[in-house]
Amino acid sequence: MTTKTTGTIKGFIFDLDGVIVFTDKLHYQAWKRMADRLGIAFDETVNDRLRGVSREESLDIILENAHGPALDAEEKRRLAEEKNTYYRELLEELTPDAVEEKVKDTLVKLRQRGFRLAIGSSSKNAGLILERTGIAGLFDAVSDGNNIQRSKPDPEVFLKAAAFLGLEPADCAVIEDAEAGIRAAKAGGMFAVAVHSAAGCPLADVSLGTFEELLNIG
C-alpha cells in the first residue's frame, strides 16, 4: 500500500504513549493507586477519557467522581505529583524490550531515507521513557509537556516539534493514537496519521493498520 500525501513530507512527529511505547497500563495503575487512596471510583472507562490529555486535565476528569468539597489549585498540584511519583516508579521497570522490534526497524528505515523524526508528547516523562527504552538516539528532537503551555488538541506541542526539526508544519506528518492528537495535528496544518485506537478517526488524513505502513507514506 502506498499512501499519497502532498509529496512534501520531510519529517515525522510521533506521539509517544500508545504509539512508540505502550504505557497506558502504567498510567492506569498510577491513577488507580491515587484514586483508590482517595476513595474515588476509577476504571478503564474513565481511563479511556484520559488519552492524549495533560496530567492536570486527567486529574480533573478523575475528580468528577470525587465526593466532598472542590479541591483548590495547591491540592490538585499535590495529587498530580503523587500520581507522577507512582508512574515514575513504574517507568523504572521499563527496558528496551518495551519497544517492539518492528517499531524500531521502521524508525531506523525512515531515518535512512532522510526523514527527520521527533517526539510530540504531552507527557513530562518523555525523556525518561526514551532513556529507559534506549531509543532516544532515533529522534532528532523532543517536544513534550515540559516545554508547552497548552495540551492537545491545541497544536502547540507539534508546532514546537516542527520548529525543533527546522521544518514547516506542512512538511510534517503526525502519528497519533488519540482523537485529541489528530485534532491537534490538523489544527497545526500537518498531515495526520491515525494508528491503533485512533484508526478510523474521520478527522485523520489516513489510518494505518500497522506501524510499518508508515514506510509507504510518500
Query: Span 177-205, mean pLDDT?
Result: 95
Range 21-46 average pLDDT: 94
Residue 48: band (very low, low, confident or very high) from pLDDT cuts 50, 70, 90:
confident
For the cut 50, the answer to whether the pLDDT of residue 97 exceeds it is yes
The predicted pLDDT at position 192 comes to 98
3-state secondary structure of 174: strand
Residue 2 has pLDDT above 50, yes or no: no
DSSP annotation of 69: S
Record the cell numbers describing residue 96, joined without a space: 528496551
The values of phi and psi at residue 132, to 5°, are -65, -30
The DSSP output letter for 170 is G
Residue 218: its pLDDT value, please? 60
- 1 pLDDT band (50/70/90 cuts)? very low
Q: Rounded to two decimals, what is the model's pTM?
A: 0.83
Q: Tens digit of pLDDT for each residue in 158-184?
A: 999 999 999 999 999 999 999 999 999
Q: Of the candidates 183, 164, 162, 185, which has an alpha carbon nearest to the alpha carbon of residue 174?
A: 185
∠ Cα 175 90 156 (to 5°):
35
For 127, residues 6+ apart whose C-beta sits below 8 A from its C-beta are 136, 142, 144, 146
107: Cβ contacts below 8 Å, ≥ 6 apart: 117, 135, 138
6 pLDDT exceeds 70? no
pLDDT band at residue 36 under the 50/70/90 scheme:
very high
Region 80-92 average pLDDT:
94
Q: Which residues form the catalytic set?
A: 15, 17
Q: How far is CA 65 from CA 32, 46, 159, 214, in A?
A: 13, 10, 34, 40
Give me the chain's average pLDDT, please.
93
Minimum mean pLDDT range among 42-56, 85-99, 180-194, 201-215? 42-56
